[in-house]
Amino acid sequence: MSTATRTPAAARRSGADLLAVAIKVKRYQPDRSDKPYWQEFQLQVEPKDRLVDALNQIKWEQDGTLTFRRSCLHGVCGSDAMRVNGRNRLACKLLMKDVGTRITIEPMLGFPVIRDLVVDMDPFFAKYEKVKPFLINDEPAPAAERLQSAEERARYDDTTKCILCGACTGSCPSVWANRDWVGPASIVNAHRFIFDSRDRAAGERLRILGDRNGVWRCRTIFNCTEACPRGIHVTDAIEEVKRAIMYGSTETE
């Protein structure tokens, strides 16, 4: 364990090159007020602190009621997606030196807000389950493993990287307008199995995504691609699924 993580935050923040930042948070505390309100926090951070460190600092030293999700702190669990200066970002993947000294943080659009920056992810995961995001293959299993060539694996490599943070879905105007539409994250995870040579249920998934709340509500806006903290080419994945539905085949590209 590195000593940095054990040093108390206050001691760590004594150096000369500290940044003074103002963080404006859109807060919602249903037990105090029915309406969301803005609150600004002033604090000193190290340039190489992440935004999530700054939020922790507020929570631990200024206002314990500030509520947000975070878990891994390393861009893997996908729990701290939020709207930072107008764009969906993971708070643990942003360095303070890169976000400026006046920062505005809001919960993601397109999700019901539970408290402060915590949004209700249940509808998101319900839609995720709808596309059957697991390997389906009823053929008798071989003795060892279902083999796949490097090329076959590469076909869907990009969409294996999803951490289900919801940044793409929350950035999508089609989602804001219609909460029933399946949304980019579900399509990314459907893509991951549709183009997997070991899977046998591509047809079923393409049927699910071919209905009126499936891929066709995508208007190629590209907000999702820009928002994805994993650099997944989300719009491209959606377009590939659209073409697979249209051509009736996953073998056309």
Partner 1 sequence: MYRGQSGMWSWLFHRITGLGVLFFLLIHIVDITLAGFGPTVYDDGIKIFSLGIVRVLSLALIASVLYHACNGLRILIIDFWPAGHKYQRQMFFAVVALSIAGFIPMAFFVVAPIFGRCPGAPNTCAPFI
By a kind-dependent CB cut-off of 5 to 8 A, residue 233 interacts, out of ligand FES, ligand SF4, partner 1, none, with: partner 1
State the first-to-last Cα distance of the chain, in angstroms, to the nearest integer: 47
Token pair 């009823």: residue = 138
162 near ligand SF4, rule: CB under 6 A: yes
Q: CB nearer to ligand FES: give 81 or 209.
A: 81
What CA–CA distance (Å, rounded) separates 61 from 74?
22
The C-alpha atoms of residue 203 and residue 243 are separated, in whole angstroms, by 13
DSSP string spanning 93-138? G-BHHHH-SEEEEEPPTTS-EEETTEE--HHHHHHHHHT--S----
* Residue closer to partner 1 (CB basis): 47 or 173: 173
Q: Is 232 in the site for ligand SF4 (CB under 6 A)?
A: yes
Report how many residues bind ligand FES under the rule CB under 6 A. Answer: 12
> Judged by CB under 6 A, does residue 218 bind ligand SF4?
no
Q: Which does 162 bind (CB under 5 to 8 A by kind): ligand SF4, partner 1, ligand FES, none?
A: ligand SF4
CB of 131 to ligand SF4, least distance (A): 13
Strand partners, 45: 19
CB 232, CB 222: distance < 8 Å: no
The stretch among 19-27, 72-80, 95-103, 207-215 that binds ligand FES (CB under 6 A) is 72-80
Separation between Cα atoms, residue 135 and residue 24, nearest integer Å: 43
Per DSSP, the three-state class of 55 is: helix
Closest CA to 238 of 218, 211, 212: 218
- Amino acid sitting at position 14: S
The residue ranges that bind ligand FES (CB under 6 A) are 70-73, 75-80, 90, 92
The residue ranges that bind ligand SF4 (CB under 6 A) are 78, 162-168, 184-185, 188, 227-230, 232, 234
The residue ranges that bind partner 1 (CB under 8 A) are 83, 85-87, 109, 171, 173, 219-223, 225-226, 233, 235-236, 239-240, 242-243, 253
